[in-house]
């Protein structure tokens, strides 16, 4: 048993070295170069870990390829912490799944901002690269995925949120305030 | 060796078989956009909920940003699934209940500071109860296009 434990420790150390980690399991401190978004709680943070399907990690419900875009994704850090990635680096209501999905189950490094009051914090993913790579990729893949899904609205991508058919349907049905279109009128007339 | 290292790391990514089944809970609260709520990007938390923020919440849900359920005591659950549908693939159901007050039944998980909920069933949808646009207006102000406001003002 003792030999087995020592072997596991040796394997873990070897893996950590390959990934550029310390033997304590913590990522080597690397200065974040994340861009400030001027948010009161933002904390620049570089992460080292694996891209995971959050529900798979929590519950063992694991579709192929991290759900192929239908699951919220996160970073399971080399320290064992699970970080939910809520946002990519684009400024207009864009999630991070399209930017994480190509790295499903891969060891990565990321740079971005943690936001929220501890312990309820989520991550803004600004850059990502595979472990061992030198070049970063900015996180803006959301746009190409949206255009592929909405080719008829390609020219409207800069204001995708006004033209996305799913959004348009909701606003037509519920109005801007979610109370029905008729409930919008008094407010709009008062503006 | 690199492959071994990756295997060691990813092996921890999946919940272990035999792990205790998480509790099934029933909670009541407001469906909201977690990004604006947690980041403060559009102002104080009370302003980025309810009717004031409904349109933006629909935008964020359509953009794949995690949707949350905030209970009356302030507990925030990240909704990972809703009645079998995903919270990130444009599930029309999840878009249709943005800013609504709902009672939901599902399995709850907690890890590293966040609560998660896999909603098995929306037991009751009370609609949009938090009519805070009378206090905050529309958040963000550009949520309603100028031409829509102009048309509404015409006699």
Q: Please state the ipTM of this predicted complex.
A: 0.88
Q: How confident is the model at residue B13 (pLDDT cuts 50, 70, 90)?
A: low
Statement to judge: residues A47 and A132 lie in one domain: yes
Provide, as residue numbers in chain B, all residues whose Cβ is less than 8 Å from the Cβ of A49.
Answer: 9
Statement to judge: residues A52 and A101 lie in one domain: yes
pLDDT score, position B86: 76
Q: What value does the mean pLDDT take over residues A165-184?
A: 95
How many structural domains is chain A composed of? 2
Q: What value does the mean pLDDT take over residues A4-26?
A: 40
Here the CATH number for the domain that contains residue A36 is: 2.40.50
Please report whether residue A67 resides in a domain: yes
Asked whether the whole model's pTM tops 0.80, one would answer yes
Statement to judge: residues A48 and A121 lie in one domain: yes
Please report whether residue A161 resides in a domain: yes
pLDDT score, position B91: 81
A104: Cβ–Cβ under 8 A, 6 or more apart, which residues? Answer: A51, A52, A53, A65, A66, A73
pLDDT score, position A25: 44
Statement to judge: residues A43 and A133 lie in one domain: yes
pLDDT score, position B19: 66
What are the beta bridge partners of residue B122? Answer: B104
Statement to judge: residues A99 and A134 lie in one domain: yes
| Shortest CA gap B12–chain A (Å) | 8
The residue from A119, A139, A159 where one domain ends is A139
| A16 pLDDT higher than 80 | no
Contact B152, A188 (CB under 8 A): yes
Please report whether residue A8 resides in a domain: no
Please report whether residue A18 resides in a domain: no
Please report whether residue A3 resides in a domain: no
Statement to judge: residues A60 and A36 lie in one domain: yes
Q: What value does the mean pLDDT take over residues A57-84?
A: 96
Statement to judge: residues A130 and A69 lie in one domain: yes
User: Parallel, antiparallel, or unpaired for β B101-111 and B114-125?
Assistant: antiparallel
Q: Report how far Cα A68 is from the mean position of its chain's Cα atoms.
A: 14
pLDDT score, position A144: 96
Average pLDDT, chain A: 87
Please report whether residue A77 resides in a domain: yes
Q: What value does the mean pLDDT take over residues A92-107?
A: 97
Are A55 and B118 an interchain contact pair (Cβ–Cβ within 8 Å)?
yes
Q: What percent of chain B has pLDDT over 90?
A: 71
Q: What value does the mean pLDDT take over residues A54-64?
A: 95
Could you read off the pLDDT of A116-162 as tens digits, one per residue?
999 999 999 999 999 999 999 999 999 999 999 999 999 999 999 99
Q: How confident is the model at residue B153 (pLDDT cuts 50, 70, 90)?
A: confident
Mutate to test the interface with A, among B48, B113, B148, B151 (most CBs of A within 10 A): B113
Domain that holds residue A173: 150-185
SS (H, E, C) chain B: CHHHHHHHHHHHHCCCCCCCCCCEEEEEEEEEEHHHHHHCCCCCHHHHCCHHHHHHHHHHHHCCCCEEEEECCCCEEEEEEECCEECCCCCHHHHHCCCCEEEEEEEEEEECCEEEEEEEEEEEECCCCCCCHHHHCCCCHHHCCHHHHHHHHCC
Statement to judge: residues A72 and A159 lie in one domain: no
Statement to judge: residues A103 and A154 lie in one domain: no
For residue B16, CA distances in Å to A11, A21, A57, A177 come to 20, 24, 9, 43
Q: What value does the mean pLDDT take over residues A31-35?
A: 96
Please report whether residue A92 resides in a domain: yes
A148: Cβ–Cβ under 8 A, 6 or more apart, which residues? Answer: none
Q: Does residue A119 have a cis peptide bond before it, meaning omega lies within 30 degrees of 0?
A: yes
Element (DSSP H or E) covering residue A45? strand A43-53
Provide, as residue numbers in chain B, all residues whose Cβ is less than 8 Å from the Cβ of A179.
Answer: 51, 128, 131
Q: What value does the mean pLDDT take over residues B50-60?
A: 97
- The partner residue sitting opposite A86, judged by closest CB among B10, B35, B80, is B35
Statement to judge: residues A62 and A132 lie in one domain: yes
Q: What is the DSSP string of A152-170?
A: GGGGGGGGHHHH-HHHHHH
Please report whether residue A16 resides in a domain: no
Domains and CATH numbers, chain B: 23-136 (2.40.50)
Statement to judge: residues A131 and A167 lie in one domain: no
Statement to judge: residues A179 and A94 lie in one domain: no
| B50 pLDDT higher than 70 | yes
Provide, as residue numbers in chain B, all residues whose Cβ is less than 8 Å from the Cβ of A76.
Answer: 9, 12-13
pLDDT score, position A189: 86
| A6 pLDDT higher than 60 | no
């Amino acid at each position: 048993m003792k030999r087995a434990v020592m072997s596991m420790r040796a394997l873990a150390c070897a893996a950590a070295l390959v990934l550029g980690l310390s033997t304590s399991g913590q990522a080597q401190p690397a200065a974040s170069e994340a861009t400030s978004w001027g948010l009161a709680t933002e904390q620049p943070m570089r992460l080292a870990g694996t891209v995971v399907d959050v529900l798979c990690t929590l519950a063992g419900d694991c579709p192929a390829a991290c759900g192929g875009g239908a699951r919220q994704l996160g970073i399971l850090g080399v320290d064992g912490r699970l970080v939910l990635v809520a946002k990519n680096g684009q400024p207009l209501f864009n999630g991070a799944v399209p930017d994480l999905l190509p790295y499903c189950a891969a060891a990565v490094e990321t740079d971005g901002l943690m936001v929220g009051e501890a312990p309820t914090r989520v991550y803004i993913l600004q850059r990502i690269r595979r472990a061992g790579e030198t070049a970063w990729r900015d996180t803006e893949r959301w746009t190409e995925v949206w255009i592929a899904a909405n080719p008829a609205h390609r020219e409207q991508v800069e204001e995708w949120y006004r033209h996305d058919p799913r959004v348009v349907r909701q606003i037509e049905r519920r109005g801007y305030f979610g109370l029905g279109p008729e409930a919008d009128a008094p407010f709009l007339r008062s503006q | 060796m690199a492959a071994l290292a990756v295997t060691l790391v990813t092996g921890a990514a999946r919940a272990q078989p035999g792990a205790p089944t998480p509790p099934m809970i029933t909670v009541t609260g407001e469906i909201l956009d977690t990004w604006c709520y947690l980041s403060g990007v559009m102002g104080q938390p009370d302003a980025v909920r309810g009717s004031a923020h409904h349109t933006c919440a629909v935008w964020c849900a359509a953009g794949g940003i995690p949707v949350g359920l905030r209970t009356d005591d302030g507990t925030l659950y990240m909704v990972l699934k809703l009645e079998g549908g995903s919270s990130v693939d444009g599930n029309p159901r999840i878009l249709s209940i943005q800013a609504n007050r709902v009672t939901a039944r599902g399995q709850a998980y907690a890890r590293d500071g966040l609560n998660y909920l896999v909603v098995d069933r929306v037991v009751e949808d009370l609609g949009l109860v938090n009519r805070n646009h009378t206090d905050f207006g529309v958040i963000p102000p550009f949520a309603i296009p100028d031409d829509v406001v102009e048309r509404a003002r015409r006699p």
